[in-house]
Amino acid sequence: MNIIEVKNLKKLYHDGETETAALTGVTFNVRKGEFLAIMGPSGSGKSTLLHLLGLLDEPSGGSYIFNNKDLTSYTRDQLADLRNREIGFVFQAFNLLPRTTVLENVILPLNYSKVPESKWIQKAKAAINSVGLSHRLYHTSAELSGGEKQRVAIARALVAEPEIIFADEPTGNLDSKSGQQVMSIIQGLNQNEGKTVVLITHETSTAEHAERIIRLMDGGIESDKPVKNRLTAKDEYIK
């Protein structure tokens, strides 16, 4: 069963009379529980595609079906509600509030959910425990290492129990060891908990944790192939 079906998806940007095609018309599906990596050089359209798939932007053309819902008729408010309920994001820059505790950062998405406030702390602690940071609950994010910040960002993405996680260059600001820890957690979420993951990366070693890689070039799909020698997450990093 597919969670994402896109057909001839396009994105055009206008600057005065100049029109730039960031996506020229891409077609592919993502199965529920799949781990997909999207790769491509700078300017290939991968960040634009992530923004469209994550409902952070609207396409210029084509169709997008998410969980059997055709999103072309949705209002912006309906899209925002769907995004808050069913999508989790992990970004390269972490996007944590620096003077706010780990617990408070992870609780934040629940403010926009339908989860009763009485359950916020319990759910946030469970998400933080899942990335191995229970001992950092009351530290501010400014006190954390880069790898720990990204693990908090993963916990924040998980706390509302989304259908799918979009990870945009999640290891881009990390050293190799911290990057491996983060990818092991993400891969564990996919393999052990069945989470659908869409990963944007320019690093082959990161992409090969996925089951399948789509390569973009000049706004179109250059290739869409399974990963033959998939990297295995290190068990000691999977919580």
* Cα gap 155→102, rounded to integer Å: 9
Cα 148 to chain center, whole Å? 17
pLDDT in tens, 1-50: 999 999 999 999 988 888 899 999 999 999 999 999 999 998 899 999 99
pLDDT digits (tens), the chain, 239 positions: 999 999 999 999 988 888 899 999 999 999 999 999 999 998 899 999 999 999 999 999 999 999 999 998 899 999 999 998 899 999 988 999 989 999 999 999 998 888 899 999 999 999 999 999 999 999 999 999 999 999 999 999 999 999 999 999 999 889 989 998 999 999 999 998 899 999 999 889 899 999 999 999 999 999 999 998 888 765 444 44
Q: What angle do CA 49, 51, 53 make, to 5 degrees?
A: 65
pTM of the model: 0.92
